[in-house]
Amino acid sequence: MRRLTSHAAGGPKTLVLDDAPDPVAGTGQVLVRIAACSVNYPDSLIIEDKYQYKPERPFAPGCEIAGVIEAVGAGVATGGTGHKVGDRVMAMSGWGGMADRIAIPAAAAWAIPDAMPFEHGAAFIMTYGTAYHALVQRAAAKPGETLLVMGAAGGVGLAAVEIGAALGLKVVAGVSSDAKLAIARGYGAVDGFVYPRGPLDKDGKRALAARVKALCPDGIDMVIDPVGGDLTEAAIRGLNWGGRLLIVGFPAGIAAIPANLLLLKGAAAIGVFYGHFTEIEPQVDASNMKALLDLYSAGKLRPPISARYPLEHGAAAIAALSDPAAHGKIIVEVA
């Protein structure tokens, strides 16, 4: 099979398209012929050995896929809620998605609706799963509350905007350009602002916080922050009493969170690690995924696909994540 392979730690340019033996469905596994793989921030980290998981090399990046089951391993239920050859599925694979085929645990594969194209399946679980888990389990969001989404035109950001709107929240978008603000509004944000790029000094952080407060005079109940860096403090300053800061990621750097602000606001900084959540609370995750697929079938969620690359250009797809103009999800078309 074809595979975009990491042979040594490094950036996207170190990846090589080569051939590898076809995987086999082992006990409890299904073999999936991959149609599409989405690109996510962890893909850029895992090839540089900067992610929580460090697979043995050689391996292919790609942590989220959709395709068709080609084979079912021993011990996999094939009736009722089980899997069978020919089923259309999506899955979070951890890695290995930028290849023709992959063997994954059967429990990781989710059947997708007939009307869902593979590119939507490949762009669904990580971003929508993260945003839904953050809002429902970690923040216990209530209809009518105000949600600020930082990086609101990114993958997790737009998913949070859509889900927040579907849950009856007032969604405010923080973005890095006017074009991205228009995108966020199109997905359900009722208002928003453009924040500056690059580092902020103390006065810059306070000035940005003042803009947030002016935009949301009644305060903010929750912040989803997949950006990090200096923007996080400004978001915290806009929180109401009992507000919740949901920490999803930090491509702009790990924020130095001012603990005194959390104390004064009775606020909480809450980590959101979706991958580990799916491992330790699979039943809750299954309930979340059913709710999300119901929202998709009702037309309330539509994964935003901003770019598509063939497998041989998968390295360029990963590199495109750092493009300031990038928004939504980037897809690698495998088959």
For residue 79, the model assigns a pLDDT of: 62
CA nearest to 108, candidates 67, 150, 48, 49: 67
Beta sheet of 268-271, edge-to-edge order: 191-194, 170-175, 146-150, 220-225, 239-247, 268-271
Identify residue 230 by its one-letter amino acid code. Answer: D
Residue 84 to residue 109: CA distance in whole angstroms: 11
Instruction: Give 306-314 contacts, CB < 8 A, sequence gap 24+.
Output: 306/330, 307/331, 308/119, 308/332, 308/333, 309/333, 311/2, 311/4, 311/17, 311/98, 311/99, 312/4, 312/17, 314/4, 314/15, 314/17, 314/37, 314/39, 314/61, 314/62, 314/98
SS3 for 170-226 is EEEEEECCHHHHHHHHHCCCCEEEECCCCCCCHHHHHHHHHHHHHHCCCCEEEEEEC
Instruction: Give 184-187 contacts, CB < 8 A, sequence gap 24+.
Output: 184/149, 184/152, 184/153, 184/157, 184/158, 187/158, 187/161, 187/162, 187/304
Outline where DSSP puts E strands in the chain: 2-5, 16-19, 29-39, 64-72, 88-92, 101-105, 109-111, 146-150, 170-175, 191-194, 220-225, 239-247, 268-271, 305-310, 329-333
For residue 114, the model assigns a pLDDT of: 92
For residue 81, the model assigns a pLDDT of: 60
Q: Which domains does the chain have, with CATH numbers?
A: 2-124+304-333 (3.90.180.10), 127-275 (3.40.50.720)
Residue 304 to residue 64: CA distance in whole angstroms: 15
Q: Could you tell me the mean pLDDT of each successive run of 10 residues in the chain, 335 residues long?
A: 96 96 95 97 93 93 97 81 89 96 95 95 96 98 97 94 97 94 96 86 84 87 93 90 94 87 95 93 96 96 94 96 84 94
Instruction: Look at residue 332 and give its three-state secondary structure.
Output: strand
